[in-house]
Amino acid sequence: MEGDELLNPEPPPGRSEVEARLDEIAARYDPSDPTEQFDYWLKRLQAGVVAPWLRGGRVLELGCATGELSSLLAPLAQSYHVVEGSRANIDAAQRRVPSASFTHALWEDYRPEKVFSDVVAFNAIEHATDPVGVLRLVRAWLEPDGRVHVVVPNGMSLHRLVGVELGMLPDPLHLTDGDKAQGHERNYTVDSLRADLLDAGFRLVHWQGIFLKVLSNRQMLEWEWDLIQAVHRVGQRFPEHGAELYAVAQPA
């Protein structure tokens, strides 16, 4: 394994159960096949929104799944590092992005030797039991003018509001069975995301919505990339109702 990250050799009790859960989720989730996962296209939209804001020096990604996003962002960085709790995900991502450095650790146990210009936390903190605690760790890992890039599921997404109108959801922030299967602890709003960042000692630099989700992921699998991009561009007029929220923040 390449890299200069330090690992805690004796993780606290209970970590093995968490890692087993992460491996279980990894076995079900692979966004690298566009015929099976609409997230394949969302990763490309995510890479597009982060690119103008990425400082691009020493970049750390929190969690990598099978490396779809890593493969898109690694070429934009001078050095690319990943901390991931699932060994199965690391094995898959390492094959796809051999130039990156991978550390097998839970975020709470990770202690890097050097700071980073950017930390990419895409579809990450909604999985954490203590998202503010994770963000406080991230702040300590950043250069003084470094940036954290956060993408979270938006509880006020258009498709969730429609679900409430149809009686499919009791409220827009409700965690569905699908959310829980992916290990989500919460959905966010613009206000709650801003609050977590401020509580962790960041100042918000920029935020926007990603994609305007009008149907289920399964119903959109056959959409062409041009249509997906067009719907995403239209969604920029209604950022608070995007499928996901993207925020850029710096240490306050």
Other Cβ atoms less than 10 A from the Cβ of 44: the count is 17
Number of domains in the chain: 1
- Whether 2 maps to a domain, the answer reads no
Residue 106, CA distances (Å) to 29, 75, 109, 128 in order: 18, 25, 5, 10
**Residue 236 structural domain:** 15-251
- Whether 6 maps to a domain, the answer reads no
Per-residue pLDDT, 223: 97
- Whether 168 maps to a domain, the answer reads yes
Mean pLDDT, contiguous 10-residue spans, the chain (252 residues): 40 62 74 91 98 98 96 98 95 96 95 96 95 97 98 96 95 90 91 98 98 94 97 97 98 96
- Whether 237 maps to a domain, the answer reads yes
Per-residue pLDDT, 182: 82
- Whether 10 maps to a domain, the answer reads no
Per-residue pLDDT, 14: 56
Per-residue pLDDT, 6: 40
- Whether 92 maps to a domain, the answer reads yes
- Whether 112 maps to a domain, the answer reads yes
Per-residue pLDDT, 237: 97
- Whether 129 maps to a domain, the answer reads yes
Helix axes 87-96, 15-28, angle to 10 degrees: 50
Find the CATH number of the domain harbouring 101.
3.40.50.150
